């Protein structure tokens, strides 16, 4: 089954072709970082307009890469939610219009399901069931993945997501947008021992998260010192270590509670080298394996949506077919 995947949930326009027999055939991605940089964050209206400009050329590009035609497609998968309402509608309208013209299914995919399944693109993919840490700019959740389409929420963030805390802390340190990667780079030259920052809810008896207090602690640390280059690097290192400590502790607890031996990590923060190193060490010490997507699939992309669409078409009784331009800016992954 050949599936075209379309991703337009926020500030990246993605298209990809996935074949259930041959794997990923082609992909293309356009990032809007330069567009939103001067505003210090994503401007929804500008994001939607840019998706309109970029999407169809990207679809043509991936078809050309794979030497295929629209008529060769068996289905089109698109991100139905969650995300920016206008941006989602761009992808939904293009996907459903193409599907209607080609008389093939249009499959609405949950954005986080795409991330959760993205490690399956690897040469050594994990097997169901597994525990998943979904950690991105807008979400920090621990899920129990039973099979494709069957997910149970084990823990969620009560306020800021980890990625959001990274970006807000980066702004406090005067780093450019997007801040998460810049903060991780700055942390490499810092000492995490200089500032002792809190580990919110790390010792709680549940799997929930809270990072807003950590961000406040960073603001107080910035106000209490001469914020020179070394101080900024030390604060970055201390902040990163605090976030990693919390995420790792929650993952270890989740593995114990579920008695599972496979952990999947996905989402933009999943590309963080310090987090990967700490989780690998925790896995080795607690007898569970850890799987990540390739770095290029950690951020939003069409490949994960194409994969999720193909898996839903072949594995699920309910294929979630939509041709009504409908989107769901807010959508619980467990509500499938």
Yes or no: say if 119 and 126 are a contact pair by the CB < 8 Å rule: yes
For residue 319, what pLDDT is reported? 47
For residue 178, what pLDDT is reported? 82
As averages over each run of 10 residues, the pLDDT of the chain (336 residues) reads 97 97 97 89 94 98 98 97 95 95 94 96 94 92 95 95 93 90 96 96 94 94 95 98 98 98 96 97 98 94 97 69 69 77
For residue 59, what pLDDT is reported? 98
What is the C-alpha separation between 189 and 230, in angstroms, rounded?
A: 8
Q: Where would I find the beta strands (DSSP E) of 127-282?
A: 130-135, 140-147, 150-156, 262-266
Q: Is the dihedral of CA 186, 190, 193, 195 positive or negative?
A: negative
- CA-nearest of 139, 333, 144, 147 to 255 is 144
Q: Chain centroid to CA 254: how far? A: 20
Domains along the chain with CATH numbers = 2-117+297-315 (3.30.420.40), 127-292 (3.30.420.40)
Other beta carbons less than 10 A from residue 284's beta carbon: 11
pTM for this entry? 0.93
What is the C-alpha separation between 301 and 303, in angstroms, rounded?
A: 6
The dihedral formed by the CA atoms of 161, 164, 165 and 171, expressed in degrees to the nearest 10 = -170
Q: How many CA atoms lie within 13 A of 301 on its CB side?
A: 28
DSSP three-state, residue 58:
helix
For residue 2, what pLDDT is reported? 98
- CA-nearest of 178, 177, 174, 246 to 212 is 246
């Amino acid at each position: 089954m050949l599936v075209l995947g379309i991703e337009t949930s926020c500030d990246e326009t993605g298209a990809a072709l996935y074949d259930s027999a041959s794997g990923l055939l082609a992909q293309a991605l356009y990032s809007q970082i330069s567009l939103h940089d001067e505003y210090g964050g994503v401007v929804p209206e500008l994001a939607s307009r840019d998706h309109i400009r970029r999407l169809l050329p990207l679809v043509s590009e991936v078809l050309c890469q794979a030497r295929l035609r629209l008529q060769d497609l068996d289905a089109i998968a698109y991100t139905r939610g969650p995300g920016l309402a206008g941006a989602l509608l761009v992808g939904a309208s293009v996907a459903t219009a193409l599907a209607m013209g080609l008389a093939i299914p249009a499959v609405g995919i949950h954005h986080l399901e795409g991330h959760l399944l993205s490690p399956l693109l690897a040469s050594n993919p994990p097997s169901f069931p597994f525990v998943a840490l979904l950690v991105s700019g807008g979400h920090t959740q621990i899920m129990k993945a039973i099979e494709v389409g069957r997910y149970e929420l084990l823990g969620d963030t009560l306020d800021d997501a980890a990625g959001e805390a990274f970006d807000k802390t980066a702004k406090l340190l005067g780093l450019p947008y997007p801040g998460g990667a810049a903060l991780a780079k700055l942390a490499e030259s810092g000492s995490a021992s200089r500032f002792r920052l809190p580990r919110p809810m790390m010792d709680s008896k549940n799997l929930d998260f809270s990072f807003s207090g950590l961000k406040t602690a960073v603001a107080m640390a910035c106000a209490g010192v001469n914020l020179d280059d070394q101080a900024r690097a030390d604060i970055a290192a201390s902040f990163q270590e605090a976030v990693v400590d919390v995420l790792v502790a929650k993952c270890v607890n989740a593995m114990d509670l579920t008695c599972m031996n496979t952990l999947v990590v996905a989402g933009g923060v999943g590309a963080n080298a310090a987090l990967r190193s700490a989780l690998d060490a925790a896995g080795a010490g607690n007898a569970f394996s850890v799987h990540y997507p390739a770095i290029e699939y950690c951020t939003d992309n069409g490949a994960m949506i194409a994969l999720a669409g193909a898996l839903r078409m072949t594995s699920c009784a309910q294929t979630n077919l939509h041709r009504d331009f409908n989107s769901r800016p807010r959508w619980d992954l467990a509500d499938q």
